[in-house]
């Protein structure tokens, strides 16, 4: 019905489909890379949003953004360099993204499991540590706390039972996950 390269308003040409797919891969790669860089450079920048990823904390936002970025960039590379059908390009890009995400998740799991011989590297030792709130926190609305962990400063998502304002000294009362803690004002002896 149509000559090679022609299209109608209903059926896009092959080059228009390839251009759209290439644009999607490019946008996914750029956005995921930007999120990964923000998460890497500004540790804890997304903690205030309480992005609860499923599981035990093995897959971090950084690992997820890295995997999605790998999907976008590998899809763009495959789309630009090989003459594969769109479904095959998407399938291969998903495979690359899954492998990168699994690799980073495994590395995160290994590094979280590392501790010094005296156990000071374990997140369980955070209980009782004092820190300072960087943002306001309210019951049901977490904030960000800054603590010294294994000799290094670290920011964590902080859940509270009572309202706590930024700048208040707090004490970790419970470790919920490697990046989430329950805190109480440091001057509250009951830890409520």
The residue that leads in pLDDT, 175 or 11, is 175
Same domain, 79 and 157: no
Whole-number Å distance between alpha carbons of 181 and 128: 11
The residue that leads in pLDDT, 104 or 167, is 167
For the CA atoms of 191, 133, 156, 113, what is the dihedral angle to 10 degrees? -60
Q: For the domain that residue 173 is a member of, what is the CATH number?
A: 2.40.50.140
β pairing state of 152-160 and 169-177: unpaired
The domain boundary residue, chosen from 113, 133, 167: 113
Same domain, 109 and 127: no
**Is 45 within the bounds of a domain?**
yes
Show the DSSP H helices in the chain as ranges.
14-41, 61-81, 86-113
Same domain, 34 and 60: yes
For residue 128, the Cα-to-chain-centroid distance in whole angstroms is 27
| pLDDT higher than threshold 50 for residue 15 | yes
Structure tokens, 35: 């999120």
| Structural domain count of the chain | 2
Q: What's the whole-number average pLDDT of the chain?
A: 76
pLDDT confidence bin for 170, thresholds 50/70/90: very high
pLDDT at position 1 is 45
Same domain, 88 and 169: no
| pLDDT higher than threshold 80 for residue 76 | yes
Same domain, 108 and 169: no
Same domain, 18 and 109: yes
pLDDT (tens digit per residue) in 121-167:
556 677 888 889 988 888 888 888 888 877 777 888 888 989 888 88
Whole-number Å distance between alpha carbons of 76 and 93: 9
Same domain, 102 and 144: no
pLDDT confidence bin for 8, thresholds 50/70/90: very low
Q: Which helix (H) or strand (E) holds 169?
A: strand 169-177
Tokens 């009951």, located at residue = 190
| pLDDT higher than threshold 80 for residue 58 | no
| pLDDT higher than threshold 60 for residue 10 | no
Quote the pTM value.
0.48
Range of the domain at 56: 14-113
Same domain, 51 and 109: yes
Which of 53-57, 94-98, 131-135 is the least confident region? 53-57
**Is 88 within the bounds of a domain?**
yes
């Amino acid at each position: 019905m149509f000559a090679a390269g022609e299209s109608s308003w209903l059926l896009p040409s092959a080059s228009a489909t390839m251009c759209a797919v290439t644009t999607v891969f490019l946008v996914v790669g750029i956005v995921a890379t930007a999120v990964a860089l923000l998460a890497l450079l500004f540790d804890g920048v997304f903690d205030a949003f309480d992005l609860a990823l499923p599981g035990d904390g093995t897959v971090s936002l950084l690992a997820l953004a890295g995997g999605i970025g790998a999907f976008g960039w590998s899809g763009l590379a495959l789309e630009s360099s090989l003459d594969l059908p769109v479904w095959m390009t998407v399938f291969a890009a998903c495979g690359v993204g899954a492998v990168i995400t699994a690799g980073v998740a495994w590395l995160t799991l290994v590094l979280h499991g590392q501790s010094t011989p005296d156990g000071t590297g374990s997140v369980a030792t955070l209980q009782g540590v004092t820190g300072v709130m960087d943002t306001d926190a309210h019951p049901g609305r977490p904030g960000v706390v800054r603590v010294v962990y294994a000799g290094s400063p670290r920011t964590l998502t902080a859940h509270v039972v009572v309202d706590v304002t930024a700048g208040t000294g707090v004490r970790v009362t419970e470790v919920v996950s490697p990046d989430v803690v329950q805190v109480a004002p440091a001057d509250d002896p009951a830890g409520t």
